[in-house]
Structure 1
Amino acid sequence: MNEVKLFKNEEFGQVRMVLVEDEPYFVGKDVAEALGYADPSSAVSKNVDAEDKTTLLLEQDGSNYKSKTTVISESGLYALIFGSKLESAKKFKHWVTSEILPSIRKHGIYATDNVIDNILNNPDFGIELLTKLKEERVARVEAEKKNAILTHVNKTYTMTEIAKELNLKSATELNKILADKHIQYKVNNTWVFYSDYSNLGYEEIKQEVLDNGHVIYHRKITQMGRAFILRLFEEAVA
């Protein structure tokens, strides 16, 4: 659940903030109202790019009721400041840069007073700044994806784990689908891949001998096997 953090100011009222994947997102309506926009919803719609806003279910003040709320990224925040022609924008930016952003800063550029003054006074600088911020975010996401891939290289998975990734009800359902596609079959109550797939490094099968002499087999799916199964489902819905 996204925990809402509230920032209050006597002149500008309150601005709500939540963390989305460790990035600060602000309630667009709060920011637009603080900046003096006559129509906050329209201001967010016209000034903030689609990639810089999203909709979350947030709890309302003093209740457990949740409603859909548009939140904007840091670059979306700058876009509203940049788009405002009101004097209150210059006052608001000081509050944001001196109190709000320093308290939540983890990634991204640091918006000093000089930076936002330049945004307000130099449209080209503002566009360049927002572009750099977006490029930085894209690069960071790509780096995180690569790190995630590396963590999967030597990891093995149960069919239950893969079924959850595919939003299936259970491993039983996934196993049946793979069997129907003639990718695997059952041997001694253990699912194994057919010969076309068995030598591709998709699975690891370990044998265990019980005290009573019975032999049972444990199958785990490798990262390559997981990728193969996920790809099958992607191709099926493409």
Structure 2
Amino acid sequence: MDNIQIFKNESFGEVRVAGTSDKPLFCLADVCKILDLQITSTKNRLKPDGVSLIKVIDSLGRTQEAIFVSESNLYKAIMRSDKPQAEPFQDWVCGEVLPSIRKHGIYATDNVIDQILNNPDFGIELLTKLKEERSARIEAEKQVAVLTHVNKTYTCTEVAKELGLKSAIELNNRLKELGVQYKVNQTWVPYTKYATLGWFDIKQEVADNGHIIYHRKITGIGRQGIINLINS
């Protein structure tokens, strides 16, 4: 994939992709537009060796230089966005864009078959490349599966449902039994061990009457930790 390809989606618009099938590069301006991010501040947070300048033709036919970023930097940009479209955009990239990019341009033509039959080394090289690309895709999909939950927070009800428990009350009681948390003035408080592990995101709000209200959610790390703990 030497030339720039344009991937379009009715919900997000379009993303220009350059690079090669094993090292695709994504136009940062397109990504930032979809995720409502600032280009400069986002670029400054990315790994420099995964940032490239590539010449593109703008809507007026002029040649311009645009910033393109690697796949790993793309995930970093997605993680920075707290917009609701971030997760659907990531799903689209991983479910449609990347598989399309990585689809190898090999077809069972007579020419290819003849080369495989007449040159075993060609066949070995071809299959090795296919295996490497498939492995790279699997690893990328695993990374995305992990990143999906990194920046998200969950209610106790959501995690309880995922575990097959009846309610948030049942989950909270289980966490109490397992020594994860205790109750103070009708508020669940994590023990120091789990607070320092970053399992919970606790914010406080001062009500009009001066009372302090605590809002607690489970972080992505906490979600996985709780699932592992209860299922162990």
User: What TM-score range do you get, normalising by the shorter chain?
Assistant: 0.3 to 0.5
Length-normalised TM-score, structure 1: 0.44
Length-normalised TM-score, structure 2: 0.45
